[in-house]
Amino acid sequence: MAAEIGTAPRRAVFQPAGDAALDRAIVAQAVEWLVRLQSGTASAAERAACEHWRGAHPDHEKAWQRVRGLGADLRDGVHGLAPETARGALRGADAARRRWALKAFVLAASGGLGAWALRDDMAWWRADYRTATGEQRSVLLPDGTRVVLNTRSAIDVDFSAAERGIRLLGGEIMVTSGHDPAARPLVVHAGPGRVVPIGTRFLVRAPDGPAAGEVVVLEGLVELGVAGREGTLRLPAGQGARYAADGISAPESSNENAAGWTQGVLVVERMRLDDFLAELGRYRPGVLRCDPAVGAILVSGAFPVARTDAVLDMLEETLPVRRRSLGPYWTTIAQR
C-alpha cells in the first residue's frame, strides 16, 4: 500500500440528506444513542456519554431533539412509517428487521429524502435476491445467466415473453450472460440505465442508489442506454461508462481490477482516503467516517474486504492517521 497527499479528482460518494443543517451521519449517531438508552439496559456511564456527545456540537443536540421528536411521531403512526416499525427498532426485533427499521428511522429523521426513499428501501427488503453487509452471493438464473451480488446489493428477476429482465435495486453485480433458446434479450435495468449484453461478462454498479450508475465490460460487448433518451452507447471489453437520467458519460478504459471484489479483494490506485473509506465501509456494519483533514491522502494497494479491521490497522500503521471508535459500530479515521 502506498500513500501520499494529493488532489486527486473527487467523486461524490455520499450526498447528505436534504436538510443542510443536519448531516445524515450525525442523525445516525443520534439514533444509535436513542436505541441504546431506550433498550432498558443502558448504564449510568452510557447515559453520561450520551449527554457529553449531545453537548459536543450544536448539531448533535439538534439531531437528538429531532430523533426524539420523530420517535414520538412514529409512535403516533405519522410520517408514513408504521408505529410497529419504530417500536421494533427500539425494542430490538430480529436483526434483519431492526437494521431496516433503523435505516428508515435515519432517513426520515434526516429530512428531505421523503416517502420515495422509504418505498425504495421496502422494495429492497422484498427483493428476489439480496446480500447483507459483507456478504456476497452467486445466483444461477433459469437461462444459465449467472449473477454475483456484491455486499449490500439487491436484484429482482423478471423473465417475460419479451425479455429476460434483471433489475438492480442498489449495490453492485457481475453478470455472465447465458443463452436463451427463445432468443429473448437479456436486459439489466438499473435506475435510468438499460444494459443489453451481447454474449458477455460485465459489472453494473449503483452503490449510492438507483439514480445513477456505472457499467464496466469485462468480456464481450454491451449496449448502454438511458430511459427517455435516444440512442445507445456500445461498450467493448475493457471499457466502462457512467450514466444518469441526463445521459451517458464518454467511455473510459476500465480498471482491470474492477472485479477484484469477486475474489474478496478491493484493489485501488491513487484513491482519496475519504473515497476509499466510503467504499470499504460498504463491507462492514455500522458507520465508517473520514475526518476531512485527512481525506485527500491517496491510497493504493490490494485490501481484503473480509478483514476490514485488519485494513484499518494497516492504515494506522502506514499513514498519519488514527482510529477513533464509539462502540463497535461507529469509527472515524482522523489525523494522528
**Bridge partners (DSSP) listed for residue 304:** 265
CATH 2.60.120.1440 in the chain: give the residue spans: 137-253
Fold of 260-335: Phage tail protein beta-alpha-beta fold (3.55.50)
275 or 4, higher pLDDT:
275
Three cell numbers, residue 59: 448539531
Options 2.60.120.1440, 3.40.50.200, 3.60.21.10, 3.40.50.970; CATH of 137-253: 2.60.120.1440
* 260-317 confidence digits (pLDDT tens): 999 889 988 889 999 999 999 999 988 999 999 999 999 988 899 999 999 999 999 8
SS (H, E, C) the chain: CEEEECCCCCCCCCCCCCCCCCCHHHHHHHHHHHHHHCCCCCCHHHHHHHHHHHHHCHHHHHHHHHHHHHHHHHHCCCCCCCHHHHHHHHHCCCHHHHHHHHHHHHHHHHCCCHHHHHHHHHHHHCCCEECCCCCCEEEECCCCCEEEECCCCEEEEEECCCCEEEEEEEEEEEEECCCCCCCCCEEEEECCEEEEEEEEEEEEEECCCCCEEEEEEEEEEEEEEECCCCCCEEEECCEEEEEECCEECCCEECCCCCCHHHHCEEEEEEEEHHHHHHHHHHHCCCEEEECHHHCCEEEEEEEECCCHHHHHHHHHHHCCEEEEECCCCEEEEEEC
Q: Which span out of 83-92, 93-102, 104-113, 302-311 was modeled with the highest average pLDDT?
A: 302-311
Residues 145-160 have a mean pLDDT of 95
Evaluate whether 289 touches 312 at the Cβ level (below 8 Å): no
> Nearest 5°: phi and psi at 213?
-165, -170
Enumerate residues 6+ apart whose C-beta is below 8 A from 183. Answer: none
CATH 3.55.50.30 in the chain: give the residue spans: 260-335
Three cell numbers, residue 274: 475519504
* Confidence band, pLDDT 50/70/90 cuts, at residue 109: low
**The residue count for the chain:** 336
Write down the pLDDT at residue 327: 78
